[in-house]
Amino acid sequence: MKRKTIIATGCIIAFLGIVSCSVHTETCQEIDANKMLKYCDTQIRQTLSQLGNDSCLLPRSIPNDSQKWGTINAYDWTSGFWPGILWYDYQNTGDEFIKSQASRYTEYLTVLLQPEHQGDHDLGFQFLCSFVNGYRLTGNDAYKKIALAGADKLARFYHPKVGTICSWAHMREKMGWPHNTIMDNMMNLELLFWAAKNGGNKAYYDMAESHARVTMEHQFRKDYTSYHVAIYDTVNGNFIKGVTNQGCSDESFWARGQAWAIYGYTMVYRETGDKTFLDFAEKITDVYLERLPADYIPYWDFDAPGIPHEPKDASAAAIVASGLLELSQLENDPQKSKTYFMAAEKMLASLSSESYKSGDNKPAFLLHSTGNYPAGYEIDAAINYADYYYIEALTRYKKITSN
C-alpha cells in the first residue's frame, strides 16, 4: 500500500511539473515582464514630468487625439490609481525618487477623510490602491491608520437589511432607486477584508462576505453574465431588478462589469477560503473567456451591435489578466490553473504589443480603453485604471514566472 501511494504521489508531482514547464516555456517566448515593467517606469517618469513638481492634481485619462493627461483632484473616484501605480513602480524598481512621489500623491488623498466629504463605495478604490499599497511596501503605521479610517467610512454605506453596500446614494433621488449596488463594488470589498484582519472592526469581514453572497445571488443572469446595477428595496431587502448605467442595454454583457466580478470573486475566495466563491469565479470567468475575440481584448460590451467595429476596452483586459493570474495560483485543479494562467498570458501579450501600448505617443501605458460609452466620454482613451491593473498584472506575472 505504501509503495502504491508513493507511485501515485510521484505521478501527481510529475504531472504538475509538466503543466508548469509547458506554461513557463510559452511564457519565456511571449512576455518579458522586466522589459515591460521598465517600459512602465519610463512612461511614469514622463507623466511626472508632465504633471510638474508642485501639482496636487492626478492623471486620469488621455483622449485618443491628445498627448496630455486630463487631470483630477483627490475626490474623483479614480484618484487612488495614480499613487497605486507609483507604489507598484517603487516595488519593482526600488527607486527612492519614485517612492517619494508615491508618498506625495498618496498623502494628497487624506482629504477624503474630511467629515464634509460624504464619499461612496469608491472609497475602497481610493484607499486600497494608495494607502494600503503604501503600508504594504513601507510598513508606515500612519498609512495603516488612514486606511482603517477609510474602511470605517466605507462601511457606513452597508445596509444590513439588503446585505450590500450602497454604491450611489444620489440615485435614490435621481432615479428613484431605494438601494443600488454596482458590480464595481466587488473590488471595494477588499478594503473591508483588509481592515478586519489589520486591527479594524471584525464585523467588516461579515459585511464584505454578505455583499459578495447577495451580489452572487441576484446580480447575475442564469448564464453567469452580470448586470451592472442591482436595485433593492430597503424595507424587506428584496431584489427589484437589474439594470445598466455603462453597458449597451440592461440585458447586455458589459465587459468591464464582468471584469470587476472576475477579479472581485477571486479576491473574495482568497480572503474567505470558501469554495462556493471559487466555483462561482470559475463560472463567470468561463463565460467571459468564451466570448473573447482573437486578441483576448474585449469590445466594450460583448453585445454591442456594431462589432467588430465597436471600441475595445483594454481596461477590462488588464483587470481580468490580473485577476486570472491570482486565480491560477489559488486553483487546486492543475488544468484549470493552466487554463487561467494561459488566458491571462494571452491578454498581457496583446496589451504589451504595439497595438495597445501607448509608447512614444502618450505618457500612459495603454491605449484603447472605454470609460463610459453611453455617456460619450473616455472612448478609445488611455485611462489610469487600465494602467494600474496592467502594472499590477505584470508584477504578479513576474512573481509567478520567477518562482
Instruction: Tell me which residues are annotated as active site.
Output: 122, 184
Q: Looking at the chain, how many residues does it have?
A: 403
| Distance (Å, whole) CA 237 – CA 9 | 50
| Distance (Å, whole) CA 347 – CA 71 | 28
With contact defined as beta carbons under 8 Å apart, do 355 and 302 qualify? Answer: no
| Distance (Å, whole) CA 352 – CA 341 | 16
Residues 6 or more apart whose Cβ sits within 8 Å of residue 346 = 296
| Distance (Å, whole) CA 323 – CA 352 | 17
| Distance (Å, whole) CA 396 – CA 366 | 18
| Distance (Å, whole) CA 330 – CA 321 | 14
Residues 6 or more apart whose Cβ sits within 8 Å of residue 326 = 266, 267, 270, 396
Per 3-state DSSP, the chain is made up of helix, strand and coil in percentages (nearest 5) of 60, 10, 30
- The DSSP call for residue 235 is T
Task: Please state at what angle helix 255-272 crosses helix 275-290, rounded to 10 degrees.
Answer: 160
Angle at the Cα of 309 from the Cα atoms of 307 and 313, rounded to 5 degrees:
80
Place of cell 477560503: 273
